[in-house]
Structure 1
Amino acid sequence: MKFRAVMIDTGPMREFSNIVTTISKLSKECVMRLSDDKLYFIVSEDNSGPTPPVLWCEIPQDMFFSEYQMIGIDEDHKDIYLGVVSANLARSLMTLKSAKCLKIKLTKKQCPCLTLEIEMPSSTSQQTRQVTHDIPVIVVPRKLWSEFQEPRVPQPDISIELPTLKQLRTTVDRMRTMSPEIVIRASSEGRLTLQIKTSMAKVSTRFKDLRVEAFEGPIDHSDSETESQTNEDMSNVCYCRVDAKKFSIFLSADQISHNQTMCSIVHKKLIILCLQTEENVKLQFFITGIVY
């Protein structure tokens, strides 16, 4: 197996660093999948055995790398799967915001490593200096590759565009100091409601006039615990109760330059959060609903 890639543009280097930093906040470990046309970051639940990923991020290599060469195991198994500590990778990329060039290679030291060679401008002369990081990786065996495929999810009942992530994160962080769970509700009229309920209070925040990409209603609320709002047709509303901390962690992706973020809800079962950028980076985060 061989892999070598070069990045020379400031914008893509900064964006790549922000993406990896966001992933490191979501999980301590991830799998990097290298293919001919894309680089993937995949995160599964900790210690949960073979389950679908909870994070799926795909990066088109031609939008980020000026050079990109790889050779897999053989013609039938062209991809390369590497287990990596995401925090180590994120720390190594912190200097990219001022770097002139990044080279990434798959090397063999005492163990398999991703070797990062970062060319930095010198503060005292016109010459450059090179910083090298060797990040240990684990080569994922072929028998486990099936565990790191894009998740197949049910058809969402609604897909609605989220408001500004920074604003949303501030609201969610305040809410989760009062409750570990948050109910996310969306209506076909473009309303998004975040709600928590404790023994002392019930707090709701509503966002209006959001774009609804798809709605598969009407929604059956015959066994629902949700409370009807004044003049609201509940057949146009779906919701899901999720872990507030997980939702907040995804919202830290506001540092990635994105053009839209969609929230898709499978009623009471699943939240699918999808961030897309102008460079066609796609980051999906899956939060399973809490059901009592």
Structure 2
Amino acid sequence: MFFIIRDQQSHSSSPVIWCEIEPNNFFESYSMDGLSATENEIYLEFVSNTVAKVVGSMKTAVSAKFIKIKLTKKVNQPCLTIDINLPTLSNARRSVTHDIPVTVIPNRLWSDYKEPDIPAWDIITSVPPIRQLTTIIDRMKKLVTVAQIIVNVEGEITISANNSLLTINSHFDRVDVIEHRDRRKQSSVYVDVKKLHQFLSGDLVTENIQCCIVDKKLMCLQIMNDFMTLRYFLPPANSDI
């Protein structure tokens, strides 16, 4: 199962976020019949904020007995129906149903959502403590629009930005260097500060995040574990720094 987010403001069709989960790790039972035996897939498009609100309501609601998610058709409108079965004091059934409108994407457009090509990274490191990093980026985004991320093979990360009035430099050391190319001691890329903050300020389920950089071309933040693979791609931003 894949969750894909594309940048609607960009001319590029490449996904910004690519997330793959193993259904058996999240659902007690899972069944899906695709378009055909050779194209056994279904692509759906929906407003992520709507789904986020429904999922958020589950966190505060009474513990559900079970939750069922299925693709339905309500008055000629395809919907992602989330049926939440709640406990009761009697044998009566009590449930809450959310019908989230979706658009079924025709197979001629599936190529727009293909998995991004993963480049040969110049360097891969761990990410500094998320809370500390998020606080710095939150303050930075109020002052500048673009920052330079500099990572070296000694396990040092520098976040640098400036405008006509000030220069900002934040340093982190002793981060784990997971992989690097011997020919390059340091790699850097300019990124959009608001887009970086948008990812860091999300409801991240782990602090085990990796930072991957292709020098001057691409930055990717990725989470990889037994349950999911998530990659957030940050293309280079223009800067006069």
With normalisation by structure 2, the TM-score equals 0.91
C-alpha distance in 2, partners of 1:196/1:206? 12
- What SS does the corresponding residue of 1:272 show, helix, strand or coil? strand
For residue 35 of structure 2, the aligned residue among 67, 73, 86 is 73
Is the deviation greater in 88-97 or in 53-62?
88-97
* Aligned equivalent of 2:146: 181
Do residues 285 (structure 1) and 235 (structure 2) align?
no
Q: Deviations over 1:143-165 (max 9, x none)?
A: 11111111013211111100121
C-alpha distance in 2, partners of 1:105/1:82? 12
Shift of 1:109: 0.8
For the Cα contact (< 8 Å) 1:83–1:137, is it kept in 2?
Answer: yes
* Aligned equivalent of 1:58: 20
C-alpha distance in 1, partners of 2:79/2:107? 18
- What SS does the corresponding residue of 1:65 show, helix, strand or coil? coil
Q: Report the identity percentage.
A: 35
* Aligned equivalent of 2:213: 265
C-alpha distance in 1, partners of 2:14/2:120? 16
Do residues 151 (structure 1) and 98 (structure 2) align?
no
What is the letter of the counterpart of residue 159 of structure 2? Answer: L
What is the letter of the counterpart of residue 149 of structure 2? Answer: I
C-alpha distance in 1, partners of 2:238/2:11? 22
Aligned pairs (5 A) from 1:76-225: 76-97=38-59, 98=61, 99-100=63-64, 101-110=66-75, 111-121=77-87, 125=89, 129-219=94-184
C-alpha distance in 1, partners of 2:9/2:142? 27
C-alpha distance in 2, partners of 1:144/1:47? 19
**Which structure carries more helix by proportion?**
1
State the aligned residue count.
234
Shift of 1:93: 1.6
* Aligned equivalent of 1:242: 191
What is the root-mean-square deviation in Å for CA atoms of aligned residues?
Answer: 1.8
C-alpha distance in 1, partners of 2:71/2:124? 39
Task: Name structure 1 gaps, 5 residues minimum.
Answer: 1-38, 220-235
* Aligned equivalent of 1:9: none
C-alpha distance in 2, partners of 1:209/1:102? 43
Task: Name structure 2 gaps, 5 residues minimum.
Answer: none
C-alpha distance in 2, partners of 1:243/1:47? 13
Q: Deviations over 1:191-232 (max 9, x none)?
A: 01111112222111111111111111433xxxxxxxxxxxxx
What is the letter of the counterpart of residue 256 of structure 1? Answer: L
C-alpha distance in 1, partners of 2:141/2:11? 28
C-alpha distance in 1, partners of 2:57/2:87? 11
Shift of 1:91: 1.1
C-alpha distance in 2, partners of 1:197/1:169? 18
C-alpha distance in 2, partners of 1:287/1:157? 15
C-alpha distance in 2, partners of 1:265/1:166? 21
